[in-house]
Chains A and B, each alone.
Chain A
Amino acid sequence: MAIEVKLTATLQKLAGGARSVQSEGSNVREVLEDLERRHPGIQDMVMVDGQIHRFVNIYLNDEDIRFLEQLETPLREGDVLSILPALAGGKI
């Protein structure tokens, strides 16, 4: 099913500059695999050791998928995923 994926600048570079791209998949994992085929490099930016990178947030519509079923979160036609790097730092 068709899913829209919104990207920030770092990932836009891998997708020819597009703010959002179309993808296919029945869950988040499948969409990330599909994105990797279309725009190589994306998966490495988003995942590490088969899990979502600690400093990457993925939202299904307006819900953080960490509070859903993470990579196995099921998707429906027309859903929107947003991939946002964390905003974080500190002295230690």
Chain B
Amino acid sequence: MLSLPRSFIDEMIAHAREDAPNECCGIVAGEDGQAVKVFRAKNAETSPYRYSVEAKDLFRIYRECDEKRWSFLVIYHSHTASEAYPSPTDIRLAFWPEAYYALVSLERPDEPVVRAFRILDGEVSEEEVRPV
């Protein structure tokens, strides 16, 4: 189960809406498993179908987290026209097994959906997102 402040969930949805129709991406930093900050990241792909955190931006976020001894608790991105479930590409490129992968779906614009998953060795398991 992934506990996230409601404001963090709202921030991810706001980010997805602002970047639509392109996919957005970002990171929620955690400290001892508790979410502490949302980092919006720059999608180097600027695409409705792909995301890749721009390398410089990835390092900017990593450095702040490393200095504060935070981890990447959640890696999120949006699916602007499909469900909130990892695509085969998302699964193939899930190189951070320690993180939750969260997806924000804007398939139904007025009813955004946020779901979270663990992706380990190509296996996807859903984790409940609990707003706190």
| Contact yes or no, B97 A89, CB < 8 A | no
B66 touching A87 by the CB < 8 A rule? Answer: no
Query: Are B97 and A87 touching (Cβ within 8 A)?
Result: no
Q: How many residues of B are counted as interface, with CB atoms below 8 angstroms from the partner's CB atoms? A: 34
Complex formed: what's the CA distance from A62 to B62 in Å? 10
Compute how far the CA of A84 lies from the CA of B54 in the bound complex, rounded to whole angstroms.
12
- Smallest CB separation, B14 vs chain A (Å): 20
State in angstroms the CA–CA spacing of A26 and B94 once bound together: 32
User: Which residues of chain A from 12 to 62 have a CB within 8 Å of any chain B CB?
Assistant: 55, 57, 59, 62
CB-based contact A9/B25 at 8 Å: no
**How many angstroms between the C-alpha atoms of A87 and B75 in the bound complex?**
8
Q: Is the interface of B mostly helix, strand, loop or mixed?
A: mixed
CB-CB < 8 A to B82: which residues of A? 91
Interface residues of A toward B: which range?
20 to 34
Return the chain A residue nearest B86 by Cβ. Answer: A89
Task: Say yes or no for B51: interface residue by CB 8 A criterion.
Answer: yes
The answer to the question of A70 belonging to the interface, with a C-beta cut-off of 8 Å to chain B, is: no
Contact in complex: A10, B96 (CB < 8 Å): yes
- A9's nearest neighbour on chain B, judged by CB, is B98
CA distance A82 to B58 in the complex (A): 11
Q: Closest CB of chain A to B104's CB: distance in Å?
A: 13
Q: Using an 8 Å CB-CB cutoff, how does the interface string of A73-92 with B read, 1 for contact, 0 for none? A: 00000000010111111111
Q: Is the CB of B53 within 8 A of A90?
A: no
Residues of B within 8 A of A90 (CB): 23, 45, 47, 49-52, 87, 89-90
The reply on B41 being an interface residue by CB < 8 A is yes
Question: Which residue, of A82, A90, A91, has the highest number of chain B Cβ atoms within 10 A?
Answer: A90
On B, residues with C-beta under 8 Å from A are 23, 25, 27, 41, 45, 47, 49-53, 55-56, 58-59, 62-63, 66, 71-72, 75, 77, 79, 82, 86-87, 89-90, 93-98
15 contacts between A and B (CB under 8 A): A8-B98, A9-B98, A10-B95, A64-B56, A64-B59, A84-B58, A84-B62, A86-B55, A86-B95, A87-B52, A87-B96, A88-B52, A90-B45, A90-B47, A90-B90
